[in-house]
Amino acid sequence: MSPARRPRAKSRAQRNGKAPRKGALKAARPIAREQITERTAERSLVISIPRLFLYHRGLEDALRAGDKVLTSQELAARIGRGMSSTQIRKDLSYLGSFGRRGQGYDVTVLVKKLGRVLGLDRDWRIAIVGFGNLGHALGTFLELREEKFHIAAIFDSDPQLVGSTWHGVTIRDETELEAVLPELGCGIGIIAVPASVAQRVAERLVRAGVGALLNFAPVNLSVDAGVAVRTIDLASELSLLTHHLS
């Protein structure tokens, strides 16, 4: 370590003579007593997955625009809103070294790498439960716009709907869920049913082998640890916006 290398304040470790703390990695933390909830299980550690999606989208845009090489600054500018080039470099460095110093990042290489990390290089089969207005709209949207996602099963409790087909998929009665779903190999379930039955539907989907749920009912689903849940609550989203307005 050469002299004149640390013009900022002295490091905390130097000041108090303690060894750097990062090594321990929360080894012996006392287990929380007041809650049975398992301790998150998800280790996001510095790099955040949602941010990687932003990068991926930005890079895809750049690719469409014809860029072959992109610097972290250019990517940050493309993404906009508060993304710093440093943050991008830091995140990407956790996936390995893909850039060339002095040049930037090869767009195709990086898109491919991110795609693999994010699981975008595979196709996914989806089951929709609840094929009313919302379920129908979601299905249409995905079927038309997203090549990676295929609607492989549809369930509803409305006798008027059950039996008809939609884009080649037969709409089945909700009671058949456990019987039919396992052999269809759907990893993802979309819950577009009223709030009152959402929890029950979630449990049944999980029992049928679905490992991830996208929930549009305004309830906090509780499912086994190991099952991923994302809830999109339109009312909450709107309320967030109103909060900003007042």
Site string for its own copies, 152-191 (x = CB under 8 A): -----------------------------------xx---
Q: Which is nearer to DNA, 100 or 148 (CB)?
A: 100
Assigned token pair, 238: 């709107």
Q: Which is nearer to DNA, 44 or 165 (CB)?
A: 44
Does residue 142 touch its own copies according to CB under 8 A? yes
**Token couple for 211:** 């490992």
- Residue 213 in the binding site for its own copies (CB under 8 A): yes
Give the tokens for residue 40.
């998150």
Backbone angles phi, psi at 240, to 5 degrees: -55, -40
Nearest 5°: the CA angle 223, 30, 211 is 20
- How many of the chain's residues bind its own copies (CB under 8 A)? 67
Half-sphere exposure (CA, 13 Å, Cβ side) for 209?
A: 13
Residue type, 38: E
Planar angle of CA 243, 48, 229, nearest 5 degrees? 70
Q: How far apart are CA 124 and CA 56, in angstroms?
A: 18
Q: How far is CA 67 from the centre of its chain?
A: 27
Question: Which option in its own copies, DNA, none does residue 112 bind, with CB closer than 5 to 8 A by kind?
Answer: none
Which letter, b or e, does each residue of 161-172 get, where b requires 16 or more Cβ atoms within 10 Å of its Cβ? Answer: bbeeebeebebb
- In the set 52, 72, 181, 221, which binds DNA (CB under 7 A)? 72
DSSP H or E segment with residue 69: strand 69-70
Single residue of 63, 74, 152, 218 touching its own copies by CB under 8 A: 218
Site pattern 21..40 for DNA (x: CB under 7 A): x---xx--xx-x--------
Among 54, 59, 62, 92, binds DNA (CB under 7 A): 92
Helix, strand or coil, per DSSP, at residue 99: strand
**Which residue's structure tokens are 């039919």?**
180
Give the footprint of DNA on this chain (CB under 7 A): 2, 5-14, 20-21, 25-26, 29-30, 32, 44-46, 48, 51, 71-73, 82, 84-87, 89-90, 92-93, 97-105
Q: Could you list the residues that contact its own copies (CB under 8 A)?
A: 12, 15-16, 32, 34-35, 37, 40, 49-50, 53-54, 57-58, 73, 76-77, 79-82, 84-85, 117-120, 122, 124, 126, 133-134, 136-138, 140-142, 145-146, 148-149, 187-188, 211-214, 218, 220, 222, 228, 230, 232, 234-246
